[in-house]
């Protein structure tokens, strides 16, 4: 069998982006928060909107027995138009590959933006399983269906051209989001998503999200499972619809969230900007004491 680099290189050549050596190494002997399972999606590597630094921080501070990559990890739509692949995006890929090498089960479920990877479903690249969908059994015995979720997006199914127009407008918004957060960083303020705030203010967007969640949960119920984990709409959520649990792990463009399963089966959403802010607040008294 080919080694990890050779296996993944064949995939990256098809995906049309370069895989260079890791630039920022993982911290050695670093204490990590352990979970049974981690789900992340909608990273959109290959775009300026990807919050790579926050995701690297998340990967450096957490670990799990199983990790699901729930689609749109790579943004093939953007990469077809313009190649954008900074070192931080490379470092995310290498961190995920290193998890697989350490023994973490890594399952990659391609979404609509990385649909080119769907042709590899059923194969294994560098220890990363590529599946169209997966079924996960929690520690407390619940069976969850795991899929990206674009299958249930009416716009994607009926008006694909409109999805591409919406994607272009969305990236304009993400450009503004970058300017806003660079200004906030200069002022010592934490990360805040302009696009997420705007989306929650728009009635039609709220109605679409609510309907989407209901449709996905109903589809999961029809398949006889206890719940569903998805991504796609960049809105992290834990809800119940007629006894079917709906989990959306969010994204790493706007909200920077992950869904985790604790070792007792309890599910939790982590909003990583809040986690980073809390960690910095805890470190500030130590810096103050040393300065004194």
pLDDT in tens, 56-80: 999 999 999 999 999 999 999 888 8
Average the pLDDT over 104-118 and give the result.
95
User: pLDDT tens-digit profile of 20-49?
Assistant: 777 778 887 778 999 999 999 999 999 998
Nearest alpha-carbon partner for 250 in 58, 30, 82: 58
> Structure pTM?
0.78
* pLDDT interval class at 200 (50, 70, 90): low
Domains and CATH numbers, the chain: 4-291 (3.60.21.10)
pLDDT at position 5, please?
Answer: 44
Beta strand residue intervals within 47-150, DSSP E: 62-69, 105-108, 124-125, 128-130, 134-137, 143-146
* Cα dist from 181 to 170, 191, 280, whole Å: 16, 6, 18
Average the pLDDT over 211-237 and give the result.
93
* pLDDT interval class at 241 (50, 70, 90): very high
Query: What letter would DSSP give residue 88?
Result: H
- Choice between 182 and 265, residue whose per-residue pLDDT is larger: 265
* pLDDT interval class at 10 (50, 70, 90): very low
**Is residue 248 scored above 60 in pLDDT?**
yes
Nearest alpha-carbon partner for 134 in 191, 67, 65, 184: 67
* Cα dist from 162 to 32, 50, 57, 83, 154, whole Å: 42, 22, 35, 23, 11
* pLDDT interval class at 53 (50, 70, 90): very high
Nearest alpha-carbon partner for 92 in 109, 106, 113: 106
What SS3 class is residue 82?
coil
How far apart are the C-alpha atoms of 31 and 155, rounded to whole Å?
43
Average the pLDDT over 220-242 and give the result.
94
How far apart are the C-alpha atoms of 241 and 227, rounded to whole Å?
9
How far apart are the C-alpha atoms of 130 and 97, rounded to whole Å?
13
pLDDT at position 145, please?
Answer: 97
């Amino acid at each position: 069998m080919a080694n990890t680099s050779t296996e993944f290189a064949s995939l990256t050549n098809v995906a049309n982006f370069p895989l260079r050596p890791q630039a920022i190494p993982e911290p050695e002997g670093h204490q990590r928060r352990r979970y049974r399972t981690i789900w992340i999606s909608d990273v959109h590597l290959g775009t300026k909107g990807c919050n790579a630094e926050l995701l690297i921080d998340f990967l450096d501070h957490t670990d799990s027995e199983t990790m699901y990559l729930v689609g749109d990890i790579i943004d093939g739509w953007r990469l077809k138009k313009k190649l954008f692949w900074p070192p931080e995006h490379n470092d995310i890929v290498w961190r995920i590959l290193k998890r697989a090498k350490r023994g973490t089960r890594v399952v990659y479920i391609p979404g609509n933006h990385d649909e080119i990877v769907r042709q590899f479903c059923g194969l294994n690249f560098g220890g990363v399983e590529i599946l169209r969908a997966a079924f996960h059994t929690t520690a407390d015995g619940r069976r969850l269906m795991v899929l990206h979720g674009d299958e249930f997006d009416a716009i994607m199914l009926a008006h694909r051209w409109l999805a591409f127009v919406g994607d272009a407008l969305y990236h304009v918004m993400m450009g503004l989001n970058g300017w806003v957060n660079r200004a906030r960083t200069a002022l010592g303020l934490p990360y805040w998503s302009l696009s997420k705030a705007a989306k929650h203010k728009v009635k039609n967007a709220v109605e679409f999200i609510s309907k989407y969640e209901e449709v996905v949960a109903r589809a999961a119920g029809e398949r006889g499972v206890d719940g569903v984990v998805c991504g796609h709409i960049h809105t992290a959520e834990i809800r119940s619809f007629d006894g079917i649990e709906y989990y959306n792990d969010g994204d790493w463009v706007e909200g920077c969230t992950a869904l985790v399963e604790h070792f007792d089966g309890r599910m939790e959403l982590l909003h990583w900007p809040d986690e980073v802010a809390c960690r910095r607040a805890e470190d500030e008294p130590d810096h103050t004491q040393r300065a004194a």
